Amino acid sequence: MSVGAPAEPGLHRHSAAAIRRRSRPHPGWIVRQLTSMRVALIMLCVLGLMTLAGTLLSQAPATVTGNSAAYTEWLSMVRPKYGGWTDILSALGLFSVFSSIFFKAVLVYLSVSVLTCSLRRFSGLWRTATQPKMIMTAAFFEKAPHRASIASEKDPSAALAALSAAFRKDHFRVATANDGDDIQICADRFRWAPFGRVAAHVAFVVILIGAVATATGGFRDESVVIPIGNKVEVGHGTNLAVEAKSFTDSYYPSGPPREYSSRLAIYKGGREVTAGTDRVNHPVRYDGVTFYQSFFGPAVEMQATAGNGRVLFKQGVALAFVAQNQKDRVGRFLLPQQGLTVFVVSPASGETDPSIPPGSTQLEVYQAGKQTPVAIETLSQGKPTTIAGVNFKFVREREFTGLIVAHDPGATIVWIGSALLVIGLFTVFYFPHRRIRAVVRRRAGGSEIGVAAIERRNAMFADHFEHLVEDIRRAVSGADTEKGGTVDA
């Protein structure tokens, strides 16, 4: 007996099979899980709960989730709100639900499931639309929740013509087939509508593909600050630059902004290629890059010249930051050849700072790598001051415009998916496929028509069916009728 030989061969085989099943799922099992509506519903519930958690709890901005120091600082900001739960929620990943691997995994599962189910159902839908079953058996008629029998004095061919006309008047397509002495009719309308369901499901996946393309491709710069009169490079290999030529803002009498807009010029390879007014809700677009008007603020135009008179810097400096005293606004520019960093400080609109009188600005000049400034000087407009061998002049006050500059290769895909989704849903729910069967039989003195449909639990269809039967009754004219149950059986 070899080591480990089984005492019960059958038991051994059974155990081995069980082990194999556990270690390597059968492909059929995988497909069953992917097409299982029960699993898909559970996943939908999980997705809903995760989204709810992401709605109820503060979510860390994308800029801090990849930076542990920034994330820790963000946690300290939300700690007063969540108290002792902060670290627990953080450990569970509930402050970054939408970027979590679990959220993405659920979406991937649902995408694969949706595609698998759509593929499996496609052929059935195609058959239903193109090859309707023509023969209505007596059993079908008896069990149909909606049915009616109509006697007509017309002969079968005339009754068929009248019946078909009534169906067509209600926009039904009519197909007929002979079944012995009977004439079988299959009338339907909106037969392609069920494909709206496929479109809507595929759209879900298309939108997710678009979202992935958005997240992984293109670029998005949230705060491109351009002092009016300045030009900045867009970067990201676009060879584009944008110049803010002018800025206008207007306010309601009560104070809120009515409108603010920038006149932009876009350059490619140094040549102006387009220009336009950039307003909220009306971004300027060029070559796949979109320039969104986002914010604005004060700026100062500064000039720096070397001792020999060479101009080192002559541009607007956006005062885009708020100083620690919360009263002043701060901007910055560099003089690399001189190894200087220059901070420009001015009181914010409506604020006063005794050290910076109206009509002046303050400079803090730092040598590279030094923590203490070389000098802090207040400059009056138009009066130059020399610091560290550089002549600085506060030319005038200006404004800056703040733009979001983005190239989103996923947006178009998302719009295609959205269109598919909306069209698919409206098609399948607002133009439901209707199929009604009928049979025309010869009888003494005319013909007998049976009409039936199996749409269950649909009171609106019951109304429709009743009206249709009335139309048919009138069409086959003057005959006695005998109607069966027409509402849900």
Partner 1 sequence: MLSLSQYCFFASIIAVSLALVSYVLAFASVRIARAHVVLVGEPAGADVSTLTGAESSNAVTFGILTTWLALGFLTATLLFRWRATGHGPFANMYEFSIAFAWGALLVNAYFLRRYRQWAVGVVVLPIALALLLYATTVPSEVEPLVPALQNNLLLTVHVATAVIAYGAFAVAFAAAALYMIQSNGPKWGLPDRTLLDDLSYRAMLVGFPFLTLTIVLGAIWADVAWGRYWSWDPKESASLVTWIVCAAYLHARGARGWRGKRAAMLLMLVFAASLFTYFGNLFFGGLHSYG
Query: What is the binding site for partner 1 (CB under 8 A)?
Result: 37-38, 40-41, 44-45, 47-48, 51-52, 54-56, 59, 98, 211, 214, 220, 252, 254, 256-260, 279-283, 290, 292, 294, 404, 406, 408, 411, 414-415, 418, 421-422, 425-426, 429-430, 457-460, 463, 488
Tell me whether residue 37 or residue 119 sits nearer to partner 1 (CB atom): 37
Distance CA 259, CA 279 (A): 8
From the CB of 141, what's the least distance to partner 1, in Å?
A: 22
From the CB of 487, what's the least distance to partner 1, in Å?
A: 9
- The DSSP code sequence of 304-316 is EE-TTS-EEEEEE
Instruction: Tell me which residue has tokens 């499996």.
Output: 120
Tell me whether residue 13 or residue 282 sits nearer to partner 1 (CB atom): 282
Phi and psi torsions of 256, nearest 5°: -65, 155
Query: How far is CA 236 from each of CA 217, 219, 220, 411, 486, rounded to the nearest angstrom?
Result: 11, 7, 10, 18, 67
From the CB of 266, what's the least distance to partner 1, in Å?
A: 16
Phi and psi torsions of 327, nearest 5°: -105, -35
Phi and psi torsions of 440, nearest 5°: -115, 125
Tell me whether residue 50 or residue 299 sits nearer to partner 1 (CB atom): 50
Q: How many residues does the chain have?
A: 489
Tell me whether residue 255 or residue 270 sits nearer to partner 1 (CB atom): 255
Tell me whether residue 101 or residue 459 sits nearer to partner 1 (CB atom): 459
From the CB of 256, what's the least distance to partner 1, in Å?
A: 6
Tell me whether residue 213 or residue 395 sits nearer to partner 1 (CB atom): 213
Cα atoms in the 13 Å half-sphere on the side-chain side of 261: 13
From the CB of 421, what's the least distance to partner 1, in Å?
A: 6
Phi and psi torsions of 445, nearest 5°: 80, 15
CB 243 within 8 A of CB 262: no
Tell me whether residue 140 or residue 295 sits nearer to partner 1 (CB atom): 295
Distance CA 163, CA 446 (A): 14
Per DSSP (E only), the strands in 62-199 are 146-152, 173-179, 182-189
Amino acid type, 464:
H
Tell me whether residue 89 or residue 395 sits nearer to partner 1 (CB atom): 89
From the CB of 404, what's the least distance to partner 1, in Å?
A: 4
From the CB of 205, what's the least distance to partner 1, in Å?
A: 14
Helix (H) or strand (E) holding 58: none
Record the tokens describing residue 196, joined without a space: 């709206």
Cα atoms in the 13 Å half-sphere on the side-chain side of 44: 9
Tell me whether residue 85 or residue 431 sits nearer to partner 1 (CB atom): 431
From the CB of 236, what's the least distance to partner 1, in Å?
A: 15
Helix (H) or strand (E) holding 411: helix 411-430
> For residue 260, what are the β-bridge partners?
249
From the CB of 39, what's the least distance to partner 1, in Å?
A: 11
